[in-house]
Amino acid sequence: MPKLVDHQERREAIAQALWRVVDQHGWTRATLREVAREAGVSLGQLQHYFATREAMLTFAMERAADRTGDRVTRGLAELDQPPHPRDVLRLVLVEMLPLHADSRASSRMSAAYVLEALHDPALRERAALGLRDGRAMVERLVRQAITRGQIAPDRDPDIETDLIIALTGFTPLLELGVIDPRAALAAIDQHLDRLFTAAPSSRPES
């Protein structure tokens, strides 16, 4: 009998191949032909699933977001329940930095996605929507902590939200070896310690 093709599995394999090409060689090398070669499929087979690089990149970014979300969910389950907002914010920040193989691949895919989105209106709106959703999540945690007295009431939640998100700017410094992971984690911890007036009930291991 002819082998049945799991189309979702094939799309996942192509997305993984794109991750590997971007991670190892950069977005400029991520042509449809190069990704097809890495995935072990013909160019025609790849184009059956993704007609353009942009479509392939969008799917790969959706999977990257899912994988980051899965890591955060697993991390949250290991915290005291209910988790302290400080610990939640630290966990999210750490998982967004390129500190291990999976998060590094996600980070590089994100960088490629943003660069492509700068010149593609459809991708630009999709990328901006994702960033707005992420910012809204951080703002909810900050406002919740202010309401509960864990952050001083005179702190501006909008400014504090933006300062927390700015900590993800450590990514290029880490990737280029300007600072090491210990320095980035120390800066994150010190910023969160200054922000929260109550000590967290638990602190994830670095």
- CATH homologous superfamily of 1-51 equals Homeodomain-like (1.10.10.60)
Distance CA 44, CA 6 (A): 17
Q: Where are the domains of the chain?
A: 1-51, 53-195
Same fold, 1-51 and 53-195: no
Distance CA 34, CA 55 (A): 15
- Confidence label for 2 from pLDDT (cuts 50, 70 and 90): very low
The CA distances from residue 153 to 149, 159, 197, in Å, are 7, 13, 10
Task: Calculate helix-pair angle for 85-96, 121-147, nearest 10 degrees.
Answer: 150
Q: Give tens-digit pLDDT for 17-69.
A: 988 888 888 878 888 999 999 999 999 999 998 888 888 888 888 888 888 88
> Dmax of the chain from CA atoms?
70
Please provide the average confidence, as pLDDT, over all residues in the chain. Answer: 87
pTM of the model: 0.80
- CATH homologous superfamily of 53-195 equals Tetracycline Repressor, domain 2 (1.10.357.10)
